[in-house]
Amino acid sequence: MNKAVEVKNVVKVYGGVVRALNGVDLDVDEGSVYALLGPNGAGKTTLIRVMTTQLRPNEGYVKVFGYDVVNQASKVRELIGYVPQEVSLWSDLTGYENLLIYAKIYGIPKDVRKRVVEEVLDFMGLKEAANRLVRTYSGGMIRRLEIASAVMVKPKLMVLDEPTIGLDPSARKSVWERIISCKKEFGVTVFFATHYMDEADKYADRISLMSSGKIITSGTPEELKALAGGDKVLLKVSNVSETLSTLSKLNYVVVSKVNNGEVEFIVNRSAEALPKVLKELMSNGVEVDEIKIHEASLDEVFIKLTGRSALQEVGRIKEVISARRMIRRGG
Ligand SMILES: Nc1ncnc2c1ncn2[C@@H]1O[C@H](COP(=O)(O)OP(=O)(O)OP(=O)(O)O)[C@@H](O)[C@H]1O
Ligand SMILES: [Mg+2]
């Protein structure tokens, strides 16, 4: 598998004091979707700025498709479509006008510029809204327009910093549908930073958990959730002792609690394991009256490994959310 991004022992210190990145290593496979998950101040944006050639690392290196971000910065910039955490549009221009400016900046030849802009607006589901001022757009439309500006040049790597920050669930979904269609349509590799656990879980092939400038652990969503210790399943059963005897023969199940008529156990990937467990119980004459499942979440893993949640919306994140709200009010 070719590497789209290689990050090796990267250190970034701001102003000689703030160690925002403290020895970061990660590899992104070509064609994959990779999530960088971490709370406020973890260093996600700093890593993205190094990756996109905006900041030089103090130590270590980053390569994008084999090109060094310091020594071959202009080559790296040709390969990347970047959607920053901050608002990157003019609210008093239309969506069409915004993209026309970006098309000029990216050096798209004049004779094809209009066609490229129209195509990308259509692709991002913004055709109808193309001639409206951006300040009348919803948060999801604004984000899709920003993504449109980044995909106009058909990048090999799309880098998105908090792509759905502050959006409601349906807008988040519409943004993700477009990102996924970029991947399907032209095979782009996607690297995104987020503090939304569910998004990393749902859309990423691989996730790195980041805290205080370090990668705590990396893996597939399933591998990481297994670190939480598995899913908890509670069964209300007709016969507790027969249930216990059946479960004791299943090596992938660990009984954690027994109450009056109830048995609680821990199992990895309950969605796959539970049908097998129920079949065993039924064949031993046990009737199951009620099932409660508590699936392990990435947030539990994060809390377990770092002692804190990645979900807080404080500091910078809060500022970005309010800036995004302001643009919609025309402020
Ligand atoms: N220009 C800067 N000068 C000094 N310190 C900075 C600068 N930019 C970021 N920092 C500090 O570096 C650390 C990492 O910040 P960074 O913005 O990379 O985190 P983040 O994970 O993107 O956070 P958020 O979720 O709030 O966007 C924080 O302690 C932050 O205060
Ligand atoms: Mg950030």
Q: Is residue 181 part of a domain?
A: yes
pLDDT attached to residue 331: 47
Q: How many residues does the chain have?
A: 331
Structural domain span for residue 85 = 3-225+308-328
d(CA 270, CA 25): 32
pLDDT attached to residue 325: 67
- Give yes or no: residues 276 and 181 share one domain: no
- Give yes or no: residues 221 and 235 share one domain: no
* Residue 257 CB burial class (10 angstroms; 0-12, 13-18, ≥19): exposed
Phi, psi of 142 (to 5 degrees): -60, -45
Closest CA relative to residue 78, chosen from 166, 141, 131, 154: 154
- Give yes or no: residues 158 and 215 share one domain: yes
Task: Indicate if the alpha-carbon torsion angle 137, 179, 196, 232 is positive or negative.
Answer: positive
- Give yes or no: residues 127 and 274 share one domain: no
Closest CA relative to residue 328, chosen from 71, 102, 138: 138
- Give yes or no: residues 114 and 191 share one domain: yes
Q: Report the side by side order of strands in the sheet with 288-294.
A: 253-259, 262-267, 231-237, 288-294
d(CA 85, CA 106): 20
- Give yes or no: residues 243 and 122 share one domain: no
| Type of residue at 181 | S
pLDDT attached to residue 106: 87
User: Residue 311 corresponds to which tokens in the numbers above?
Assistant: 């979900």
Atom of ligand 1 nearest to the CA of 85: 27
- Give yes or no: residues 48 and 158 share one domain: yes
Residues lining ligand 1, judged by CB closer than 6 Å? Answer: 14-15, 18, 20, 38, 40-46, 85, 195, 315-317
User: Residue 227 corresponds to which tokens in the numbers above?
Assistant: 């670190």
pLDDT attached to residue 226: 84
Of all protein residues, the one whose alpha carbon is nearest to atom 30 of ligand 1 is 41
- Give yes or no: residues 70 and 170 share one domain: yes
**Segment 213-267, tens digit of pLDDT:** 999 999 999 889 888 888 899 999 999 999 999 999 999 999 989 998 999 999 9
d(CA 243, CA 287): 9
pLDDT attached to residue 185: 86
Helix (H, G, I), strand (E, B) or coil at 125: coil
User: What protein residues have CB closer than 5 angstroms to ion ligand 2?
Assistant: 44-45, 85
- Give yes or no: residues 168 and 56 share one domain: yes
pLDDT attached to residue 8: 98
Ligand 2 centroid distance, CA of 58 (Å)? 19
- Number of domains within the chain: 2
Q: Report the side by side order of strands in the sheet with 59-64.
A: 18-29, 3-14, 59-64, 67-68
Q: Is residue 302 part of a domain?
A: no
Ligand 1 centroid distance, CA of 317 (Å)? 10
Q: For a substitution probing ligand 1, which of 45, 47, 48, 162 has the most ligand atoms within 8 Å of its CB?
A: 45
* Sites in the chain below the pLDDT cut of 70: 310-331
Query: What b/e readout covers 11-43, taking b as 16+ CB neighbours within 10 angstroms?
Result: bbeeeeeebbbbebebbbeeebbbbbbbbebbb
pLDDT attached to residue 174: 87
- Give yes or no: residues 11 and 140 share one domain: yes
- Give yes or no: residues 100 and 200 share one domain: yes
Closest CA relative to residue 244, chosen from 257, 225, 230: 257
Atom of ligand 1 nearest to the CA of 45: 22
Q: Is residue 301 part of a domain?
A: no
Q: What is the pTM of this model?
A: 0.84
- Give yes or no: residues 140 and 246 share one domain: no
* DSSP codes, 151-204: HTT--SEEEEESTTTT--HHHHHHHHHHHHHHHHHH--EEEEEES-HHHHHHH-
Q: For a substitution probing ligand 1, which of 11, 12, 18 has the most ligand atoms within 8 Å of its CB?
A: 18
Task: Indicate if the alpha-carbon torsion angle 307, 309, 314, 320 is positive or negative.
Answer: positive
Residue 267 belongs to domain with CATH number: 3.30.70.100
Q: For a substitution probing ligand 1, which of 7, 44, 47 has the most ligand atoms within 8 Å of its CB?
A: 44
